[in-house]
Amino acid sequence: MRASPDNETNGTTDRVRLEVDGMHCASCASSIESSLGRVRGVQSAHVNLDAGEAEVVGEGLARDELIEAVRRKGYDARERTRALSPGQERTRIEHHQHEHARGWGRRALFGGIMACAIAAIHWGGPLIGIEVGHNVTSLWLWVMAALASVSQWYVGQAFYKSAWRAARHRTTNMDTLIAIGATAAFAMSFGVVFAELAGIEVDAPLYFGESAGLLALISLGHWLEARTTAAAGSAVRELLALTPDESIRLSGEQDERGEKVASSELRVGDLVLIRAGDRAGVDGTIVRGRSTFDESVVTGESMPIERAEGDDVVAGSVNQSAPIVIRATTAGDETTISRIADMVRQAQMSKAEVQRLADRVTSVFIPSVLGIALATFLGWGLIGGEWISAIINATSVLIISCPCALGIATPTAVMVASGAASRRGILIKSARAIERLAGVRVALFDKTGTLTIGRPKVASGDDEALRLGAALARTSNHPLSGAVVREAEERGLDIPSSDDVEERAGAGLAGRLGGDQVSMVSRAEAERMGIDLGDAPRATSSVVIREGSLVGEIQFEDEVRDDARQVVEGLRQAGLRLLLITGDRREAAEALAERVGLGPDEIRWELSPQDKLDLVRSFEGTRVMMVGDGINDAAALAEATGAGGVSIAVASGSNIAIESAEVVIPGERLTSLLDLLIIGRLGLRTIKQNLGQSFLYNALAIPAAALGLLGVHGPLFAAGAMGVSDTMVIGNSLRLKWRLARRWGDRSKGAGG
C-alpha cells in the first residue's frame, strides 16, 4: 500500500521500489542498504544489484528521504511508480544487465588498450632506439602521459563520479578507495615529470601504465562480476519468460477467433482463448473445453494434468491437447508467475544472518583502510624516508583492499541456491531460510494435506454396503460421500437410484431405495439408534443401515502421498528427529504413522492450533522445520520462523499458511523437502567458503601491500589480485549450481551430506 502524499505515518505497511543507477558491485548495494536502513520509518531495505533496484518496507516512508539516502552514497535513484508486466519486467532486467555489463566491458577494453600502448612505448622503445625515461623533451613521454590522462577521464569517470558524490555528503564508498589509489599513481607520475621540467632530478619510476592498467583491471573485474551475477540470477528472467507476450482475447462467449493483445492488457473477467501448444498468459478458470496442461512451471512436475470446465489454469502452464477458453481471474501484470518471480527476487535481495557479520565488517572497513593507507604512507615516508615507496605502498593498500569479494560472498550463493530451487517448483522467500535449513534438527509434520493428500478414500467395506451407501452419497458433496462413490465405481458395482435423500449435519444421509429406508450414518449416530457395532475401528467410518438392520461398515483413511515414506526415510537418514502432529484422533494418527514409517513415539494427536504453537516453542534452542498446509498451521509456521527455524508450506494448502511460511514447496512433490535440505546444506557451505576466502584474502593482502611486498608495480598487482579474488568467489558460487545438478541426478543418496 502506498503512503499518503504527505508521508504521514498511517499505521499501514508501505512498500517502495526504487530504480538505482551507478552500482558497480555488491559492496555498492550493501552500502546503499545501510543508508536506506537509517531513514525514518524503514523496517527493511533490500538492494538487488542484478536488477538495479531497491525495495524498502516500512511505515510512512518519505520518498524524497529515501532517494536522498541513496544519493548520499554517490548513486542516483528514482521511484518506480507503475507496475510492469512480466514481459516488460524481463525486458527491463535484461536491458539493465546488458547495459551494466557492456559499460564495464567498454571501460575494460579501452583501459586495457591504453595500458598496453603505454607499456609498449615504455618497454618497447629501447628496442627501436627510443629511450623515454624521464626525458621531458621526448614526444613519447608526453604520448604516454596523454594516453594515461585519457584513460583516467574515460575509464575512471565512473569511479570518480561516485566517490565525489559520496564525498559531498561526507561519506565514503568502495569507489573512494579506487579513486584515491588511481589518482595517487597518476598524480605521482605527473609530479615526477613536472619535477624534471623544473630541473629537479627524481629517482622514481613513472606509473602512467599502472594507473591505466589498474583501472582497466578493476573494470574487467566488474565486467566479469556483472556477467556471472546475471547468470546466477537468471531464475527471475526465466520465470518471467514463461508468460507469453501476447494472448487471444475474445469479445464474448460467441466469439471464436478473438484478437491478439498484449498479455499485460488482460483484466479480470476477460475471456481468453488458449490454443493447443500455447502458454496461458493469465490465471483463469475454464469456461469452455477440456484439455491437458503441463503445469511444471508452478508444481515442478512435468506429468500432464487434465483440466475441464470449472478448473483453474495457471499463467505460464502449457495447453497440450485442445483449445480451451478461460475467464481471467487476475490482471495480466499480476499473475501467479509474476508473484513467484517477485518472491524469488525478494529472496535474492534478502540477506542470510551470517552476512550480517560481513556487513558489520564492511561498515567500518573503508575508514579503516583509509587509516591503514595513511599509516603506511607516513610510516614509509617519515620513518623510512622513502616517500616514493610511501606513495606506491599506500596506493597498493587502497587498491588491494576493495571489499568486493566480501560483498558478493553471500548474494551470489543465495542467487544460485534460490534460482535452482525455483526451477524445481520450490519458492524460497528469504536468504535466512537457506542458512537455517542447514542447521535443522527437528522436522514437525502436519498430517492432513502434508503427509496426506487431504482427501479421504475407502480403506475397507463390503460391496453391498458400498452399493447402498453410494446410492445415497451421489446427492452429497461431503468428502466421505465422494470417497464412497469413487470406490463403488472403481469396483464396478451397480448403484441403484435413491429417493427422498436427506442430509443431516453431523449424522449422515437417509433416503429410500426400492421402498426400503436406508441410512449411511456416523458410528456415534448408529449406536444412538441401537445398532451393536462391536469394537471401534482405528479409522473414521460410516455405518450403512437398511430397515433398522446393519448392512455393513465402511472405513475411511486419508490418502497418503505416494512419496511420504520416501521423505520420512530420507530425513531420518539426514539425522533429523521427526514428529507427526495432528488435530485428528489418536487412531487415525497411528494408522498414518504406521503407513509412512513413523514410530509410536513420533506422533502427537488431538492438537489445537495453540498446542502446535506451544510444541514449536518447546524446542527452544533447537532449530525446527515446521511443514504444514492449513489455516490451523499458520501460527506454528510463523512461530518456527520467529524462533530461528524454518517454516514450509505445501502449495496445495491455504493462502494463510503459504503467506506465513518462508518456503513453499509443490503440492504434488513432497520429496522437494529432500531437495530443500540439500540446497540449505550446500548453500550455507558455499556462503561460509566465500566469506572465509574473502576474509583470508584481505587479511593477507593488506599487510603485504603495506609492507611493500608487492614491489614497485604494487598498484597493478593489487588491482589484479582484487579481480582474482572476486572471480574466485563468483566461481565458487556457480560451482554450487553444478553440485546441485549432480546431487539431483542421483536421488539414491537422500538428503544427507
Q: Is 500 left (phi over 0), alpha (psi -120 to 50) or beta?
A: left
With H, G, I as helix, E, B as strand and everything else as coil, classify residue 672. Answer: helix
**186 has which bridge partners?**
none
Q: In residues, how long is the chain?
A: 753
Distance CA 431, CA 425 (A): 17
Q: How many whole angstroms separate alpha carbon 466 and alpha carbon 484?
A: 6
Give the largest Cα separation in the chain, rounded. Answer: 126
- How far is residue 212's CA from residue 182's CA, in Å, rounded to a whole number? 8
CA distance linking residue 243 with residue 283, whole number of Å: 10
- Give the DSSP letter of residue 7: -
Active-site entry in 283, 446, 584, 675: 446
CB 294 within 8 A of CB 349: no
Please give the grid coordinates belonging to residue 682.
550446500
Rounded to whole angstroms, the Cα distance separating 744 from 749 reads 9
446 has catalytic annotation: yes
Give the torsion sign (CA, 637, 642, 648, 653). Answer: positive
For 136, list phi and psi in degrees, rounded to 5.
Answer: -70, -10
Best CA proximity match to 653, nearest among 671, 676, 637, 640: 637
CA dihedral 162, 166, 171, 173 (to 10 degrees): -10
Residue in the block written with cell 533447537: 622
The answer to whether 511 touches 502, Cβ cutoff 8 Å, is: yes
CA 179 centroid distance within chain: 34
Measure Cα distances from 318 to 127, 274, 281, 292, 434 in Å.
Answer: 68, 9, 10, 8, 30
Cβ atoms of residues 207 and 159 within 8 Å: no
Quick count: other Cβ atoms within 10 Å of Cβ 26? 28
Q: Are 562 and 534 in contact (CB under 8 A)?
A: no
CA angle (34, 40, 46) in 5-degree steps: 35
Q: How far apart are CA 633 and CA 613, in angstroms?
A: 8
In whole angstroms, what is the distance from residue 527 CA to residue 95 CA?
72
Angstrom distance (rounded) from CA 217 to CA 214: 5
- Nearest Cα residue to 340 out of 645, 700, 666: 666
Catalytic residues: 446
